[in-house]
A and B are shown apart, each in its own frame.
Chain A
Amino acid sequence: AQKVTQAQTEISVVEKEDVTLDCVYETRDTTYYLFWYKQPPSGELVFLIRRNSFDEQNEISGRYSWNFQKSTSSFNFTITASQVVDSAVYFCALSDLGGSQGNLIFGKGTKLSVKP
């Protein structure tokens, strides 16, 4: 069965610290896609990144970076030099063509609080 685990329920850091949000997934498919979404206090869900299972290259976008490791079924998200505006709930999600039928299976989210 498909499953996404975000073991960190809440993380609190001080501004300018680096922080890594963990995501571990389970799927039987060889083709699947992984996503990260951000939900700030205002409530909307903002798409951050999509990664397919055949591309293990790490990605960097500004202060954000993602580390995809198939060997450990992990897709971790790092924020470098965190800022107060990074405070949000972050969701990792999985989509495959098997059990999830293309739909997003979300983890329970990690609430990040960045204090000034």
Chain B
Amino acid sequence: DTAVSQTPKYLVTQMGNDKSIKCEQNLGHDTMYWYKQDSKKFLKIMFSYNNKELIINETVPNRFSPKSPDKAHLNLHINSLELGDSAVYFCASSLTGTSDEQYFGPGTRLTVT
């Protein structure tokens, strides 16, 4: 049973399109996150959600919006995709939001052409 899963694994799309990445965790964790890993492997937090409430919103473009239908899911919607959005996006979860270890999904490689 996969603890944190993401779909799709690969996403190729054209500039200007809108796309979504889904994330689900079956660990019963309270907090979920989205990270972006750029081409140089640098990982940076984008969002975190605790019990369906956004608790951190880093300075990412408002074209990116997280949506959490329930505690086990945190989806990432991206509008008007740009070339610079190409990256690997990781979903993660932790038991609480307070410095617990985070468990990551397999990542979604987004390529914008």
Asked whether any CB of chain A lies closer than 8 Å to the CB of B88, the reply is: yes
Asked whether any CB of chain B lies closer than 8 Å to the CB of A7, the reply is: no
Chain B positions within 8 Å of A, measured between CB atoms, are 33, 40-45, 48, 55-56, 88, 90, 92, 97-107
Instruction: Let me know if B42 and A103 touch, CB within 8 A.
Output: no
Identify A102's interface contact among B40, B97, B106, B107, CB under 8 A.
Answer: B97
Identify B107's interface contact among A33, A43, A50, A97, CB under 8 A.
Answer: A43
Instruction: Let me know if A45 and B104 touch, CB within 8 A.
Output: yes
- Which residues of chain B have C-beta atoms less than 8 A from A105's C-beta? 45
- Compute how far the CA of A105 lies from the CA of B100 in the bound complex, rounded to whole angstroms: 13
A70-116 residues at the B interface, CB under 8 angstroms: 89, 91, 95-97, 101-106, 108-109
Instruction: Let me know if B56 and A101 touch, CB within 8 A.
Output: yes
A-B contact pairs, 15 of them (CB 8 A): A33-B99, A37-B104, A43-B106, A45-B43, A45-B107, A47-B101, A50-B101, A95-B99, A96-B99, A101-B55, A102-B98, A103-B33, A103-B48, A105-B45, A106-B43
Instruction: Let me know if A45 and B90 touch, CB within 8 A.
Output: yes
- Compute how far the CA of A32 lies from the CA of B99 in the bound complex, rounded to whole angstroms: 8
- Compute how far the CA of A50 lies from the CA of B94 in the bound complex, rounded to whole angstroms: 12
Q: How large is the interface on A (under 10, 10 to 19, 20 to 34, 35 or more residues)?
A: 20 to 34
Chain A positions within 8 Å of B, measured between CB atoms, are 32-33, 35, 37, 39, 43-47, 50, 52, 89, 91, 95-97, 101-106, 108-109
- Which residues of chain A have C-beta atoms less than 8 A from B41's C-beta? 39, 89, 108-109
Q: Whose C-beta in chain A lies nearest to the C-beta of B44?
A: A106
| For the complex of A and B, 3 pairs with smallest distance between CB atoms | A45-B104, A95-B99, A33-B99
- Compute how far the CA of A46 lies from the CA of B103 in the bound complex, rounded to whole angstroms: 7
- Which residues of chain A have C-beta atoms less than 8 A from B44's C-beta? 106
